[in-house]
A and B are shown apart, each in its own frame.
Chain A
Amino acid sequence: MKPIETNQEYSDYVNKKSPDSPILKNCLNAFWVGGLICTIGQFIMNFCQYKGMEQTQASTVVSIVLVACAAILTGLNIFNKIGKFAGAGSLIPITGFANSIVSPAIEYKSEGYVMGVGGKMFTVAGPVLVYGISTSVIIGMIAVLFGA
């Protein structure tokens, strides 16, 4: 191999050795996995409505089923593999919320069932609930003020 002498040669060498930014591939994987999870949810919702449920109830059933599946898959260590592949594709749907509860709970199991499992479950889900619920209370108060 010939020695590197100029800056130009060096930057060419670095560009050749470092892999292409994987952002496009990540986005593509996030797109189809995320889309697929939502589509599974849509099928569950359609099925519930076909069985005569109203939309709000059907959407609650969708959340419960997806959350249960994600929790079980996390417990079996399958969800983490999907997450590595899909990134935001499995994080952003409600499955990611369930995963964020189960993952730390398993990891801190050795610290006991109360503060370990019971406490660490909310490492990520806690902030989500704090900000989500607080925002909804503020919005409710604004609705009271403006007589919505």
Chain B
Amino acid sequence: MGFLQSIDWMQILRCFVVGGIICVIGQILIDKTKLTPARILVIYVTAGAILGGLGIYKYLIDFAGAGATVPLTGFGANLAKGAIEEVKTSGLLGAFVGGVKVSAGGIAAAVFFGYIASLLAKPKIKKQ
């Protein structure tokens, strides 16, 4: 199994710990503040975009891999990174094109699979 031998297990551990900590921060926000989950997700994506724009989030991704890219902050950082990179090649147009371009896969998948899953699922009968 060449694949299993290629895995850097320390990297997996860093991924687990960093991903876990990012979620714990969210859990503390849920338990200690009156923020709704929707607001927390918005805060995470915006914070990620700002940290990505400042070039800070990149270091966390280098350190923790998917532990930093899978949480929603990673989605935000990816949007910002895409916008900045596209600006380098096509100027102001890039500010509008870049972010969504690099995140297109995730967004399209969420819309498509979300729609399919909703069609297949039966609505729950609300318990009184």
Contacts and interface: CB of A to CB of B under 8 A. Distances in A.
A71 B79 CA distance: 22
B76 A26 contact: no
B106 A135 contact: no
Q: Which of A42, A88, A118, A140 gathers the greatest number of chain B CB atoms within 10 Å?
A: A140
Interface in A47-61: 47, 50, 56, 59-61
A143 B86 CA distance: 10
Interface in B81-100: 82-84, 86-88, 91-92, 94-96, 98-100
B58 to A, nearest CB: 12
A31 B76 contact: no
Main secondary structure of the interface of B (DSSP, over half): helix
The bracket for how many chain B residues form the interface is 35 or more
Contacts of A135: 45-46, 49-50, 53, 76, 79-80
B71 A117 contact: no
Nearest to A101: B114
A136 B79 contact: yes
A35 B19 CA distance: 5
The bracket for how many chain A residues form the interface is 35 or more
B116 A71 contact: yes
A125 B123 contact: no
A94 B102 contact: no
A63 B44 contact: no
B110 A98 contact: yes
Main secondary structure of the interface of A (DSSP, over half): helix
A14 interface: no
Given A38-B70, A121-B118, A30 B106 contact: no
A78 B67 CA distance: 23
B24 A27 contact: yes
Given A77-B124, A133-B100, A135-B80, A106 B118 contact: yes
Interface of A: 23, 26-27, 30-39, 41-47, 50, 56, 59-64, 66-68, 71-72, 74-77, 87-89, 91-94, 96-98, 100-102, 105-107, 109-110, 117-118, 121, 123-125, 127-129, 131-133, 135-137, 139-144, 148
Q: What 6 pairs across the A-B complex have the smallest Cβ distances?
A: A140-B95, A34-B23, A38-B19, A136-B99, A35-B20, A88-B26
Given A27-B28, A67-B110, A139-B53, 14 more contacts: A27-B31, A41-B69, A42-B12, A59-B66, A76-B121, A87-B27, A100-B41, A117-B119, A124-B37, A125-B114, A128-B41, A135-B79, A140-B83, A141-B95
